[in-house]
A and B are shown apart, each in its own frame.
Chain A
Amino acid sequence: MLTKKIKTRLFFLSSVIFITLLFLAFIYFSLKENILYFKTPSEISIVDEIQNNSKIRVGGMVKKDSIQQNNKEIKFILTDYKKELIVVYNGAVPNLFSEERGAVVEGKLNDKSYLIADRILAKHDENYMPPEMKKIFENAK
Chain B
Amino acid sequence: MLSNTGNILLIGSIVSTFLIVYLAYQSIKERSFQIKKNIIYCSFFQITFVISSFLLLIFAFIFSDFSLLAVYQNSHTAKPLFYKISGVWGNHEGSMLLWINIMVLFSYLFFVFNNKINTVFSLYTLVVQNILILGFLIFLISDSNPFFKILPTPIEGLGLNPILQDPALAIHPPLLYLGFVGSSIYFSAAVAAILSNSNGKNFALSIKKWVLISWSFQSLGIIVGSIWAYYELGWGGFWFWDPVENASLIPWFCMTALAHSVLVLEKRNYLYNWVLILSLITFISSVTGTFLVRSGILNSVHTFANDPSRGLYILIFLSLMILFSFIIFFKRRINDQFNLNPISKETFILSNNWFMMFYLATVFVGTIYPIFTQVLYNTNISVGPPFYNQVIAPILIPFLIFMAVGPKIGWMKSNFIAFKPFFIIIVLSLLINFFISYFLKSYNLISNLIVVSSLFLILHSLKDFISNFKSNSYINLASFFSHLGFGFLIFFIILNHNFSEEFDLNIKVGETKKIGNMEIKFNNLKIENRKNYNAVIGDFNIQDFQRNYLKNLNPEIRVYENPQTLTFESAINTNLKQDIYLTMSNIDGSDFYNIKFQVKPFMLWIWFAAFLTASGGLIRVFLKK
Tell me which residues from 502 to 559 in chain B have a Cβ below 8 Å from any Cβ of chain A.
504-508
Closest to A65 in B: B588
How many residue pairs at the A-B interface have CB separations less than 8 Å?
120
Instruction: List A contacts of B422 (CB < 8 A).
Output: none
Tell me which residues from 1 to 46 in chain A have a Cβ below 8 Å from any Cβ of chain B.
12, 16, 20, 23-24, 26-28, 30-31, 33-39
Closest to A125 in B: B161
CA distance A92 to B386 in the complex (A): 21
Tell me which residues from 53 to 70 in chain A have a Cβ below 8 Å from any Cβ of chain B.
57, 67, 69-70
A116 at the interface (CB under 8 A from B): no
User: How near does chain A come to B89, taking the closest CB pair, in angstroms?
Assistant: 17
Instruction: List A contacts of B302 (CB < 8 A).
Output: 124
Closest to B596 in A: A92
Query: With A73-B506, A92-B234 in contact, is A24–B361 under 8 Å at CB?
Result: yes
Q: Is the CB of A31 within 8 A of B369?
A: yes
A111 at the interface (CB under 8 A from B): no
Q: Is the CB of A97 within 8 A of B563?
A: no
Instruction: List A contacts of B366 (CB < 8 A).
Output: 31
Query: With A70-B592, A92-B594 in contact, is A31–B365 under 8 Å at CB?
Result: yes
Q: Is the CB of B585 within 8 A of A92?
A: yes
User: How near does chain A come to B437, taking the closest CB pair, in angstroms?
Assistant: 26
Q: Is the CB of B588 within 8 A of A91?
A: no
Size bin of chain A's contact surface: 35 or more
Instruction: List B contacts of A121 (CB < 8 A).
Output: 301
Size bin of chain B's contact surface: 35 or more
Q: Is the CB of A71 within 8 A of B507?
A: yes
A122 at the interface (CB under 8 A from B): yes
Closest to A19 in B: B354
User: How near does chain B come to A40, taking the closest CB pair, in angstroms?
Assistant: 9
- Beta-carbon contacts of B549-587 to A below 8 Å, as 1s and 0s? 000000000000001111110000000000000011101
Q: Is the CB of A30 within 8 A of B391?
A: yes
CA distance A39 to B505 in the complex (A): 28
Q: Is the CB of B587 within 8 A of A69?
A: yes
Instruction: List A contacts of B566 (CB < 8 A).
Output: 95-96
CA distance A86 to B84 in the complex (A): 43
Instruction: List A contacts of B387 (CB < 8 A).
Output: 30-31, 33-35
The 7 A-B residue pairs with the shortest CB-CB distance, nearest first, are A38-B380, A34-B387, A91-B504, A92-B596, A92-B594, A69-B592, A34-B386
> Can you identify 26 A-B contacts, CB atoms within 8 angstroms?
A24-B361, A26-B391, A34-B387, A35-B381, A35-B387, A36-B381, A36-B383, A36-B384, A37-B380, A67-B587, A67-B590, A69-B590, A71-B507, A74-B594, A91-B504, A92-B234, A92-B583, A95-B565, A95-B568, A99-B588, A122-B235, A122-B301, A124-B302, A124-B304, A125-B161, A126-B565
Q: A31-B383, A34-B387, A97-B587 are in contact. List 6 more A-B contacts (CB 8 A).
A: A23-B395, A31-B365, A38-B380, A69-B592, A91-B504, A96-B565
